[in-house]
Amino acid sequence: MTARKAAASMLLFVLPALLIVAGSRDLLPDLVASWFGPRGEPREWMAREAYLGMQLFLLVSLPGLLAVLTLVVPRRAPGVLRPEFRAYWLVPSRQDATLAAMARAGVHLSGLVVGALLLLELSVVLGNRSDPPHGQAVLFWASVAACLSVAVEIVLIARRFRVPGGVPRRPESGGAS
């Protein structure tokens, strides 16, 4: 997957999500119960505009950060990557496959993050429809599962790109010491 296709895919996740969150403004009260516990009890409260601003910020910044880490850094600034990573994964014989795999991983992880944020948004919108606000346990646990899936995906990506055993952890300096 090219960086351009990956970036377009990430935008296809983010743009509709931004519209959904922005469109939920009229569905929320002035004071929003922004987080519910496992039994549906409100745990955190925020002003509606602050809550929406936070959600919109997260929907832009988290996929944006993932795009930078998986699309920009390996291509434009590989020097910031660990030397042993560069020495193994970015050699010419592996570079194209590595960059494509990193792009796919970034798209997949962005989709999971946006999905988790939208699930949290659904939980908040539905929870604030009752008076007093009360969340739904199934949405709480689905949100926990979505966040855990993001964490698991990060671990799987880290495992996918670990440097195999037998590869020197530090490249040779090339000079006599």
Average pLDDT score over the chain: 89
Per-residue model confidence (pLDDT) at position 36: 92
Per-residue model confidence as pLDDT tens digits over 36-48: 998 999 999 999 9
Closest CA to 16 of 115, 103, 101: 115
Per-residue model confidence as pLDDT tens digits over 63-103: 999 999 998 988 888 888 888 888 888 899 999 999 999 99
**pLDDT bracket for residue 166 (50, 70, 90):** low
Q: What are the residues whose beta carbons fall under 8 Å from the beta carbon of 18, sequence distance 6 or more?
A: 56, 59, 60
173/120: higher pLDDT: 120
29: left (phi over 0), alpha (psi -120 to 50) or beta: beta
Cβ proximity of 37 and 135 under 8 Å: yes
Sequence letter at residue 119: L
| Rounded distance between C-alpha atoms, residue 68 and residue 74, angstroms | 9
Closest CA to 103 of 115, 95, 113: 95
What would the mean pLDDT of 158-173 be, rounded to a whole number?
71
Q: How many other CB atoms sit within 10 Å of the CB of residue 122?
A: 16
Residue 32: φ, ψ to 5°: -100, 130
Closest CA to 62 of 24, 25, 112: 112
Per-residue model confidence as pLDDT tens digits over 98-151: 999 999 999 999 999 999 999 999 999 999 999 999 999 899 899 999 999 999
